[in-house]
């Protein structure tokens, strides 16, 4: 019993170090950067220790992506929990949570939404379908409540809103607009997202 009790925490810590190292390498340079040798070096373990946890690099990368999507989904669910069902505030809260996740968990965000990190996957193959069903359900509820016009296509609206927040994040992560754009406000993802929110609300409001 003493041996088991001392071995279990070590195994857990080793697994966590391996995942953290792989996530960092994926965020830095994608799958090509995430070799088992580099993961082992960064995690402070031997390559053999990794293979005791994962059969190959693909399995390790898949696990990193899976865990990141799980955390992302939890962040979205927590964000909408306090907002009234059918309200636009519920949808906007998802956008805020999306940005907060990117700011607070930059490595995981890059793992999920940087195309150089992992190969394209079908939504159905992603944990929680990548959070898409949560957004779509909020949109359907808003349509039922009359917050969004009932003639709108919920999938098209979901893709539009998803691409909007991802576009804001990607644009400001890759381009420096300081001194180039006369924007009255904070030119960061949250500031730009909030500043353009009225444009979205007016465009989706019932006619």
pLDDT tens digit sequence for 119-133 = 667 777 777 788 899
Token pair for 143 = 């349509």
- Which residues are CB-neighbours of 147 under 8 A, at least 6 positions away? 86, 87, 88
Q: What are phi and psi of 140, to 5 degrees?
A: -60, -40
Q: What is the CATH number of the domain that holds 7?
A: 1.10.10.60
User: pLDDT by residue (tens digit) across 26-74?
Assistant: 998 888 888 999 999 999 999 999 999 999 999 999 899 889 999 999 9
**DSSP classification of residue 116:** T
Residue-number span of the structural domain to which 16 is assigned:
1-54
CA distance 134 to 33: 32
Same domain as 87, residue 138: yes
The count of domains in the chain is: 2
SS3 56: coil
- Which residues are CB-neighbours of 35 under 8 A, at least 6 positions away? 25, 57
Same domain as 11, residue 100: no
User: pLDDT by residue (tens digit) across 2-35?
Assistant: 333 334 444 548 899 999 999 999 998 888 888 9
Specify the long-range contacts of residues 139-148, CB closer than 8 Å, at least 24 apart.
139/91, 141/85, 141/86, 141/90, 142/86, 142/87, 142/88, 142/90, 142/91, 144/86, 145/85, 145/86, 145/87, 146/86, 146/206, 147/86, 147/87, 147/88, 148/88, 148/204, 148/205, 148/206
Query: What Rg do the C-alpha atoms of the chain give, in angstroms?
Result: 20
Same domain as 50, residue 69: no
- Among 10, 35, 54, give the residue marking a domain's end: 54
Q: What are phi and psi of 109, to 5 degrees?
A: -60, -45
Same domain as 94, residue 17: no
CA distance 205 to 146: 8
**DSSP classification of residue 119:** -
Q: What is the CATH number of the domain that holds 142?
A: 1.10.357.10
Same domain as 187, residue 85: yes
Decide: pTM greater than 0.75: yes
User: pLDDT by residue (tens digit) across 141-176?
Assistant: 999 999 999 999 999 999 999 999 988 888 887 777
Q: How far is CA 14 from CA 17, 141, 160, in A?
A: 5, 44, 41
185 has a pLDDT exceeding 80: no
Same domain as 198, residue 143: yes
Token pair for 121 = 């996957």
- Which residues are CB-neighbours of 172 under 8 A, at least 6 positions away? 187, 188, 189, 192
Same domain as 10, residue 74: no
Same domain as 87, residue 39: no
pLDDT at 3: 38
pLDDT at 155: 96
């Amino acid at each position: 019993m003493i041996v088991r009790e001392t071995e279990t925490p070590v195994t857990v810590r080793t697994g966590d170090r391996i995942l953290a190292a792989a996530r960092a390498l994926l965020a830095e340079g994608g799958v090509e950067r995430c070799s088992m040798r580099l993961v082992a070096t960064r995690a402070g373990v031997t390559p053999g220790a990794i293979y005791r946890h994962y059969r190959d690099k693909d399995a390790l990368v898949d696990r990193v992506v899976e865990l990141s999507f799980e955390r992302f989904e939890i962040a979205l669910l927590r964000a909408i929990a306090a907002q009234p069902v059918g309200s636009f505030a519920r949808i906007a809260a998802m956008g805020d949570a999306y940005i907060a996740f990117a700011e607070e968990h930059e490595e995981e965000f890059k793992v999920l939404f940087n195309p150089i990190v992992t190969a394209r996957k079908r939504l159905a193959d992603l944990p929680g379908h990548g959070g898409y069903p949560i957004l779509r359900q909020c949109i359907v509820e808003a349509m039922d409540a009359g917050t969004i016009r009932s003639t709108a296509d919920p999938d098209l609206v979901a893709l539009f809103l998803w691409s909007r927040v991802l576009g804001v994040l990607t644009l400001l992560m890759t381009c420096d607009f300081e001194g180039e754009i006369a924007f009255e406000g904070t030119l960061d993802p949250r500031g730009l997202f909030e500043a353009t929110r009225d444009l979205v609300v007016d465009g989706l409001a019932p006619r």
